Chains A and B, each alone.
Chain A
């Protein structure tokens, strides 16, 4: 196990290097220099001043030197200073990250809690009314635009019926609440965002669970289990389910970038001060160091998600370690 984890981490280091190269290229291949962006806030900036800014960011050096210097700072998690409020980029990201990760974590739990039973149920009763109903539901889930779903929920649950708050993560009078009330208040604010964030992934996981379970049910060892007279319940839930769950772990890891990317949409709609909203605000303001920082951190989070999925896969499936 230790050797496997070690090998995976070496592979990840290579990927990480690739991520930094792509991020660096994206920003530098695009027409216009960051100094243009900063200078455009102030039309009076002279050529001389531009050169000074360029020198400050090391933009007058050759590209590969720039990259290496950027990489050195990246290794110290130093992404520079935000154009908007002159605060360190890393500090801004770290402030925003917990809320986004909390929402992602809850939505992954929700996806698993609902998606797995739906998929297993469909597979066990393949071709039944339930299965066909769930197939339709899955297609609806795939086609539903997240932002439209958010708007509908906001309009009905928030505005018309006033059941749940629709903006931010806490109420105005939050500070006056006791600890218990604070938790209730925040949870209320998070219900809609978590639900919206989970909705798209739900369809994918339940569909995947269904085909994985169907696949396992065709295996010889299931026939053996039935032949030796085990109860159907034991065959399904002790023998089949355990094996069918394995590939779902991988899919969960693969769905991390989608979840993080989706945070831009629901965080801007529900005004949640998370990473997605930070990214959106930076894009609108062309706050270049923050854009670069969030892009790299987003990719690193994806890497970690994949690593976690791979390690847990190896932990539950002894065949992996033998390879």
Chain B
């Protein structure tokens, strides 16, 4: 395996462990306000410093990891459900079904995704669940196209004809035989999609229309960091680094999977 891929796996694993065991890693309650220690630079008791309400930045970052990863995973989960289902249906049934789904994808791709997400948020409330659903509902198009392309070539293969000959239903053929065999390239897209979703969530939270304070997310911590620019470098450095490293990790992992697939 490529060194960069291993590096990616380490990053991904590291943050997942932090997210799962957040209460163990966080030395303080992330919401605990301490008026006497406002905006203190990193010290031995607050290794990442404190924010403008005296809350421990490290603890907030640890809990923020949970939020950011959860949004990333669930959003991509939703996107892959939609993408895989529509892609498989389009590829398997072809004809007008394919035509309608593909035109729908073309239309969706015309919208600047970020505009579409913002427009929907303006109409709903920016809660975590809404954000996951919106990101999921606007980022499935690439996966659908990949899935369709795979299915188009798979459905002419002998084992599918055999399956049909023994009277298997369309549903069974699609879910048991076609989709599992077509998953490989979609997996790359899913991995890269997690990175994308984390970036979108943090951008939204940074703009104040994503995860709402006091719930910590890397994006909204950074937004608070912008407000105290010049007076608290740690508020800008750590959350930014966390987003950057996490996204890098998923991208490296995705590239690694892609290379492996190309070789096999």
Interface residues, chain A, with chain B CB atoms under 8 Å away: 14-15, 18-19, 21-22, 26-27, 30-32, 139-140, 142-148, 151-152, 154-155, 159-160, 257-258, 260-262, 264-265, 268-269, 279-280, 282-284, 286, 288, 291-292, 294-295, 298-299, 302-303, 306
Kindly state the separation between the CA atoms of A282 and B246 in the bound complex, as whole angstroms.
31
Given contacts A145-B199, A155-B236, contact A257 B121 (CB under 8 A): no
What are 16 A-B interface contacts by the 8 Å CB criterion?
A15-B103, A26-B123, A32-B123, A143-B248, A143-B251, A147-B203, A147-B207, A151-B236, A261-B112, A262-B114, A265-B206, A283-B119, A283-B122, A284-B208, A286-B123, A298-B115
B10 at the interface (CB under 8 A from A): no
Query: Do A139 and B199 touch across chains, with their CB atoms under 8 A apart?
Result: no
Query: Do A299 and B110 touch across chains, with their CB atoms under 8 A apart?
Result: yes
Residues of B within 8 A of A303 (CB): 110
Kindly state the separation between the CA atoms of A31 and B123 in the bound complex, as whole angstroms.
7
Query: Do A264 and B207 touch across chains, with their CB atoms under 8 A apart?
Result: yes
Q: Mark B117-130, 1 if CB is under 8 A from A, else 0.
A: 01111111000000
Query: Do B248 and A151 touch across chains, with their CB atoms under 8 A apart?
Result: no
Residues of A within 8 A of B229 (CB): 151, 154-155, 159
B209 at the interface (CB under 8 A from A): yes
Chain A residue with the shortest CB-CB distance to B246: A143
Query: Do A151 and B247 touch across chains, with their CB atoms under 8 A apart?
Result: no
Query: Which residues of B (149-205) have their CB < 8 Å from a CB of A?
Result: 195, 199, 202-203
Kindly state the separation between the CA atoms of A18 and B99 in the bound complex, as whole angstroms.
14
Query: Do A147 and B222 touch across chains, with their CB atoms under 8 A apart?
Result: yes
Residues of A within 8 A of B119 (CB): 26-27, 283, 291-292, 295
Kindly state the separation between the CA atoms of A152 and B119 in the bound complex, as whole angstroms.
28
Residues of B within 8 A of A139 (CB): 4, 248, 251-252, 255
Kindly state the separation between the CA atoms of A291 and B243 in the bound complex, as whole angstroms.
29
Interface SS of chain A:
helix
Residues of B within 8 A of A14 (CB): 103
Kindly state the separation between the CA atoms of A299 and B109 in the bound complex, as whole angstroms.
9
Kindly state the separation between the CA atoms of A295 and B251 in the bound complex, as whole angstroms.
29
Q: Which among B120, B195, B199, B222 is the interface contact of A26 at CB below 8 angstroms?
A: B120
Q: Mark B97-117, 1 if CB is under 8 A from A, else 0.
A: 000000110111111111110
Chain A residue with the shortest CB-CB distance to B225: A151
Kindly state the separation between the CA atoms of A18 and B111 in the bound complex, as whole angstroms.
11
Query: Which residues of B (221-254) have their CB < 8 Å from a CB of A?
Result: 222, 225-226, 229-230, 233, 236, 240, 243-245, 247-248, 251-252
A291 to chain B, nearest CB (A): 5
Kindly state the separation between the CA atoms of A27 and B122 in the bound complex, as whole angstroms.
10
Tally the A-B contacts, defined by beta carbons under 8 Å: 140
Query: Do A143 and B115 touch across chains, with their CB atoms under 8 A apart?
Result: no
Residues of B within 8 A of A155 (CB): 229-230, 233, 236
Kindly state the separation between the CA atoms of A140 and B202 in the bound complex, as whole angstroms.
17
Q: Which among B106, B109, B222 is the interface contact of A148 at CB below 8 angstroms?
A: B222
A68 to chain B, nearest CB (A): 19
Query: Do A147 and B110 touch across chains, with their CB atoms under 8 A apart?
Result: no
Residues of A within 8 A of B112 (CB): 257-258, 260-261, 298-299, 302
Residues of A within 8 A of B120 (CB): 26, 30
A150 to chain B, nearest CB (A): 9
Kindly state the separation between the CA atoms of A144 and B115 in the bound complex, as whole angstroms.
20
B97 to chain A, nearest CB (A): 17
Kindly state the separation between the CA atoms of A286 and B118 in the bound complex, as whole angstroms.
11
Given contacts A14-B103, A151-B225, A291-B119, contact A261 B206 (CB under 8 A): no
Query: Do A22 and B248 touch across chains, with their CB atoms under 8 A apart?
Result: no
Query: Do A22 and B103 touch across chains, with their CB atoms under 8 A apart?
Result: no
Q: Which among A15, A26, A30, A268 is the interface contact of B116 at CB below 8 angstroms?
A: A26
Query: Do A152 and B236 touch across chains, with their CB atoms under 8 A apart?
Result: yes
Q: Mark B121-147, 1 if CB is under 8 A from A, else 0.
A: 111100000000000000000000000
Residues of A within 8 A of B226 (CB): 151, 269
Kindly state the separation between the CA atoms of A187 and B224 in the bound complex, as whole angstroms.
29
Given contacts A30-B120, A279-B118, contact A22 B207 (CB under 8 A): no
B60 to chain A, nearest CB (A): 17
Q: Which among B110, B114, B202, B230 is the interface contact of A264 at CB below 8 angstroms?
A: B114
Query: Do B110 and A145 touch across chains, with their CB atoms under 8 A apart?
Result: no
Kindly state the separation between the CA atoms of A237 and B229 in the bound complex, as whole angstroms.
47
Query: Do B209 and A283 touch across chains, with their CB atoms under 8 A apart?
Result: yes
Query: Do B111 and A22 touch across chains, with their CB atoms under 8 A apart?
Result: yes
Residues of B within 8 A of A143 (CB): 195, 244-245, 247-248, 251
Kindly state the separation between the CA atoms of A299 and B111 in the bound complex, as whole angstroms.
5
Q: A26-B123, A265-B203 are in contact. List 7 more A-B contacts (CB 8 A).
A: A21-B107, A143-B248, A144-B244, A147-B222, A155-B233, A268-B207, A295-B111
Residues of B within 8 A of A261 (CB): 112-115
Given contacts A14-B103, A140-B248, contact A257 B209 (CB under 8 A): no
